[in-house]
Each structure stands twice: as structure tokens, then as C-alpha cells.
Structure 1
Amino acid sequence: MRIGMLVILLLLALPVSAGLQQLRFITEEYPPYNYSENGQLKGIAIELLEQAFAAEGLQLQPQQIELLPWARGYDTALSTANTVLFSTNRTAARETLFQWAGPISADRVVLMGRASRTLQIDSITELNASELQIVAIREDVGAQRLQELGVDPDRITLASNNTSALAMLEAGRVDLWAYGEDVAYWLMRSQGVDPSAFEAVYTLSETYLYFALNADTDPRLTEQLQQAIDRSRDLATQLRFLTEEYPPFNYLDEQQQVAGIATTRLRTMLKDTGLQAEFQLLPWARAYTEARLNENTCVYSTTRTPEREAEFHWLGPLHISQWGAFSLPEAGLQVTQLDQLDGLRIGSFREDAVGQYVAGLGHQLILATTDRENLTRLRNGLIDVWVTGVTHAQRIAADEQVSLTHLFTFNEVPLYLACHRDISPGLIQRMQHSLEQQDASLQHPYSSGAQES
């Protein structure tokens, strides 16, 4: 009996970090979080896991991670102790099924449809009353959310993986695809499908992605993994600066690097403060949500509104933006102010401050996923007027060799770097001081005549 008790005590005394190497990790093709490229697993979640192991003085072995179809991986993680499934949406329905470590990132699950159809869904009741057919992946959060929200099962087709689901959507066999927005667009680009041909028409959920551990896993291992993730983030001094395609402030240059006049100011700020930041260009709503939910993350170029004030630390201003209304010359519109837009189809995009301002004045908007899509919609006769940043619209139109009529300008606002509330006040002060020093060296900072969106 004493020998048995001694063995138990010795096992309990073993460092839990060693147990992390006994965990079995399962993932799927879900870029940019986890995916296979040239036989190697890559992605945001893979990097975070490697950093967590390194923070414990361990090395994550390639054989510890298996790439499986989602439904098979999900069932395995449910039934097998010491198994970890990622990247997994943490939802209310799944909360008690697993133990959780993370988060990895925020994730927005949507219904994707063809942009040319300009589908608009305002409720699940409206969806069920339609003839629209939806594809989802078995056991994926998209399929689970459809069930939880009460979507008619007769209009849902289950696919085995995301490639087949995309093929069904592209071929017109279904009208909508329930899936993660960023992952859907990534997959489209990798498959040679034009992402601008599709858009998010309804949001099913906005949640975090986590490492989901089997419920019977030793809780000490879950806690150790969580602490390792936290420690790896503490060791990382790098910030994330997220932005959108919004020339001339922020855009991808010919080398596919984030550039623009706002980006240049921020790179100068980083050099002055000795800080590091990863720059990433995303759809605006996604970039905005990431910065609101994730530590050490900032978004720019952001309009500072009363509704957004409490959500962020605000650094800047970076520049001034003028807002305007645009149409095609052949439309022959003769309008000079916003209250003359009644009865016209007005285009904007999700979470954009310009569109929110116009909607706040009582106008109905047709929302795109990205602002560049609105130029295409204008050319295709799907909208009559496009409201956006003045120089931004002119820059995109020049790139596409499209003539625009600038109907009128209706507002002028400063643009900021908006940072997550948990970034330390000392760090915020250092960055703000650098921006103010840059302003002091300018004769006319924030001049709106040449620098606006």
C-alpha cells in the first residue's frame, strides 16, 4: 500500500510541462489559422502552439499534430482523452463538451453568397421563408449554428470538407455557404476563385477560436497549456497593426507589403519607440473586430466616433479624411447634399464609419464586404451612389480606369490608430508621444487638402 501511494505521489510530482508532449493535437485545413503547405503545417494557430511549447522549454514535435477531416477530428476529440482539437469555435453549445485553452483568434461565421445576386437576409425567419439552399460542413460551427438558430434542415446540404463546399457554391448547386469569412476568402484565392465575386450576406456568429481539449484530459494539462500560451504572448513584444485596403492611407504595394501614408507614420513611430508590430491587411469588419477582441492588437485608419470611443485606446490623429458621394457620369445625377439621396440605392460596406454616419441620418444602405466592391456594384448598376472617402474613391477609380462623378463632400474627420483596451497605458503613452513629435516637425499636420480618404 505504501509503495502504491509512493508511486501516485511521484506521478503527481512530475512536471506537468512534460505532459504537454503527451498531448495529441488534431487540426484541419482552416487557413490562415492551420493548413498544410508543401507537406508542412503552417498558420496562426500552429505558430502559437509552437511558441507555447517553446515558452515551456519544449519543442513541439511534428508527429504530435494530425491533419484530419473536421468531422472525424471533432468526434475523436470528443471521445479520446489527452486529445486537443484546433482551431475550434468556442460556442455555448460546445462549452461543457471540452476544456479550453486560448484564445487563438476571433472568428466570424457567415453565410456567403454570390455578390451579383445582392442577396439580403435580415432574419432566420426570412431565410426559412425563402427558397435559398445552404451548404455547411459536417460538425463544423457553421452547421451547428444553423441548427441552433432553427434553420430549416431541408435547405441544408452537408459537405465533407471546405473544398467541396466551395465547389458547390461556385457551381451554383447551392445559394449560400455557412463558414468562417476569412477562411472562405483565403480558400477562394488558393483555389483560383475570384473573392470579389462573393460576399457575406448574414452573420451567424462572432466567437473566438480555441484549443479544445477532451473533457477527460487532466485539468492540470489544460491549465499548463493555457499558462504556456499566456507566457508566450507575454514574451512576445510584437504588436499587431491591422488595416484594410484604403488607399492612399493603407494598401498592399507591388511587393505585397502594407504601405500608405498612415502606414509610413506608424512605421516611423515604431522605429522611434523601439517597438515591433506585424502589419496585416484584412477586410475592414474583420480587422475592426480583431482589434476590439484581441490583446496587443490595433486597427487603423479608424474614425473616432462616440459609439466607438470606449472600445479602444485612441492614438493620433494620423491624418484627416473627407467623405463624399460618387456616381457614374452617365447616371446624370444632380444632387448636392445627403438629403437628396432619398430613393437612390446607396452603397457602403460593413462597419464603415462613413456608411454608419449616412445610415444614422435615416438612409437605407446596401452593404458590401469591402469598399472596392462598391465600384464594381456601381459599374454593374447595382447601386446608384457610393459614399466613401474622397481620395480613396478617386484612387480606386484611377486603378480600375473608371470615371467617377464626385457629387459632393459632406464631412471631414480625423483618422486614428485604435488599440485594444488591455494594452498598457505606458505603451500607449510612448506611441502617442512619438506621433505628437512627428506632428511637431510638420508645418501643417493633418492637412486635409492632400491627405484624406
Structure 2
Amino acid sequence: MKCIFTSLILTAFLVFGALPAWGENFIALAPPYPPYCVSSGLTVKGMAVSTLTTIMNMCGIPLDEDRIKLMSWTYAFENTVRGPERIMLNAQRTPDSEQLFKWVGPVVTSKIVLIGRKRDKLFIPTREQLNGYRIATVRWSRPEKSLLAGGVDKDKLERHPSHVQALRSLDKGEVDLFAFTQLGAPCLMEGLGMSKDDYEICFTFDEEPLYFAFSKDTDDNLIARLNRALKDMKASGPSGKSQFDMMFEGQLD
């Protein structure tokens, strides 16, 4: 009996030991969305990236930086749907996408805001009044899509190919407002040498929970472990702050 048991253990080792460890082939696809995902030379950095690598490490599945790729939202979505072992960062969990992925999160709630110049002293009490203002957006960006879905007239938007032209337009007074995320806008302004102290949030348009979307082949037990790791990461410690808070001190909404 002992010989048979030993033989079974050896067989299992030979069979399973030859296989790659689960998850070592994961590739994370990160649509640009500062400060959650930003290009940093040849690597991708940001709040979402740091959170993902932390919880993957907590579950014993390190994710090397060369396996995190900055991709367009469309490519990341389609590639993660096809799989295998794909992770899409900053994903929206909607009725249409619910069954396409396995979900970890929400990771953070992104606030989509409209920013104006302080000296203009704009007062915008309701969404309906937004159509009375000229709003600069980045064409096809998620903040722009949110505005359109929320009832803002398309002909009221000054659509730009990048944030550079949109913010320059705001700075020159060619538009009244710039639509972006609360955390991302100051990063963009800083990169252009603009002082964020000259601007203010005039209206909070929407709040968007962001998730990690894993391809459907991902093991359910791993998804459960990752969600527990994220919960533990966000739990308050002795100081009253969580590991999550301390990682992003000064950056959170």
C-alpha cells in the first residue's frame, strides 16, 4: 500500500509539476486613464497598476511589469473577451459586459468632473444648464461618452484629439469647461505647466466604479481570493488608514 501511495504522489508530481504555475501567463491590458493607468517610459504605472500587482502578489501570483501593456480601450476589451489569461484594467461593469468577464472590485470610484477657471466664478446647479456652456473634451474619451450619455448636446462640445488642445483651449478662455476625471485633470495640468490652483471643479457629472475584468477562463477560486485580497488591502489598519489609502496618500478622491 505504501508503494502504491508513493507511486501516486510521484505520478501527480510528474504530471502537474511539469505544468506552468497557474497565472504565470497573465497579461494585463491597461487603457490610458490617468492617474489610474499612465505611460512611464517603457512601462505602465498608476493607481490601478499598483493595486493589481499588490493583490496578485498577495495571492502568490506575481505580475511582472513587462506583462502589463498600455492598449486602447477597444483592443483591451476585445482581447480580454477572447482570452486566455487576460486582465483588463479600469473596466466598467455594465449589464452588457457582466457575462463577458469575471470581476474583481470595485477598485476605485472615478469622479467625472467639469473644471473651469476660478476667475470665471461659474455656478452650475443642474445638468440641464450645462448646455449653456462650451465644454472641451478629449474625443472618444470616457468622460466625453459619459457627458453624451447623460444628455449633454453634442454640438455643445468642443472635441479635441488630446488633452493638450483641450486644456489650452480652456486656459485661453475659448471654452468654459473641461471634462475629465477629478484625479486625472491635475496630473494633465501639471504636465503642461498649468497651475491647478487657477482652476476649480464646477460640476461633478458622474461617478464611475472601476473594476479589474478577467477573461472567462480564470479560475473562480482565484477571483474569490483576489476579491478578498482587495478587501483586506482596503481594510483600515491601527492608524485608521488602509494599505490602499497609504499607497495613494494625497491622490484619492
Normalised by the shorter chain, which TM-score bucket? 0.7 to 0.9
Higher relative strand content: 1
Distance in 1 between residues matched to 2:48 and 2:23, nearest whole Å = 20
Q: Which residue of 1 aligns with 2:65?
A: 62
Q: Which residue of 1 aligns with 2:73?
A: 74
Corresponding residue to 2:31 among 14, 27, 33? 27
Alignment of 1:265-304 (within 5 A): 270=239, 278=246, 280-281=249-250, 286=253
Aligned length: 230
Distance in 2 between residues matched to 1:138 and 1:98, nearest whole Å = 27
* Larger RCO, structure (CA 8 Å, separation 6 or more): 2
Distance in 1 between residues matched to 2:204 and 2:126, nearest whole Å = 10
Answer whether contact 1:113 1:177 (CA < 8 A) is retained. Answer: yes
**1:45-79 Cα shifts (integer Å, max 9, x gaps):** 111111122123222122322223xxxx2111332
User: Runs ≥4 in structure 1, deviation > 6 angstroms?
Assistant: none
Q: Quickly say closer, same or farther: Cα 1:155–1:98, change in 2 above 3 A.
A: farther
Distance in 2 between residues matched to 1:181 and 1:237, nearest whole Å = 21
**1:167-192 Cα shifts (integer Å, max 9, x gaps):** 33223332211110111012222332
Deviation at 1:101, TM superposition (A): 2.0
Q: Which residue of 2 aligns with 1:165?
A: 166
SS in 2 for 1:18: coil
> Which residue identity does 1:77 align to in structure 2?
A
Corresponding residue to 1:47 among 47, 50, 61? 50
Distance in 2 between residues matched to 1:139 and 1:226, nearest whole Å = 33
Q: Which residue of 2 aligns with 1:149?
A: 150
Q: Which residue of 2 aligns with 1:140?
A: 141
**Which ranges of structure 2 fall in alignment gaps of 5 or more residues?**
1-14
Return the TM-score normalized by structure 2: 0.74
**1:145-186 Cα shifts (integer Å, max 9, x gaps):** 111111111112333443443233223332211110111012
Distance in 2 between residues matched to 1:187 and 1:28, nearest whole Å = 12
Answer whether contact 1:78 1:98 (CA < 8 A) is retained. Answer: no
Distance in 1 between residues matched to 2:107 and 2:113, nearest whole Å = 19
Distance in 2 between residues matched to 1:162 and 1:97, nearest whole Å = 31
Deviation at 1:282, TM superposition (A): 5.8
> Which residue identity does 1:230 align to in structure 2?
R
SS in 2 for 1:145: helix
> Which residue identity does 2:201 align to in structure 1?
A
Answer whether contact 2:100 2:216 (CA < 8 A) is retained. Answer: no
How much identity, in percent, do the aligned residues show?
A: 26
Distance in 2 between residues matched to 1:79 and 1:192, nearest whole Å = 36
**1:307-359 Cα shifts (integer Å, max 9, x gaps):** xxxxxxxxxxxxxxxxxxxxxxxxxxxxxxxxxxxxxxxxxxxxxxxxxxxxx
Distance in 2 between residues matched to 1:96 and 1:204, nearest whole Å = 27
User: Over alpha carbons, which structure has the higher Rg?
Assistant: 1
Return the TM-score normalized by structure 1: 0.44
Deviation at 1:39, TM superposition (A): 4.1
> Which residue identity does 1:66 align to in structure 2?
K
Alignment of 1:34-433 (within 5 A): 34-68=37-71, 73-80=72-79, 81-82=82-83, 83-90=86-93, 99-128=102-131, 130=132, 132-213=133-214, 217-218=215-216, 220-221=218-219, 224-225=222-223, 227-231=225-229, 233-234=231-232, 236=233, 239=236, 270=239, 278=246, 280-281=249-250, 286=253
Q: Quickly say closer, same or farther: Cα 1:201–1:26, change in 2 above 3 A.
A: same
> Which residue identity does 1:123 align to in structure 2?
T
SS in 2 for 1:110: strand
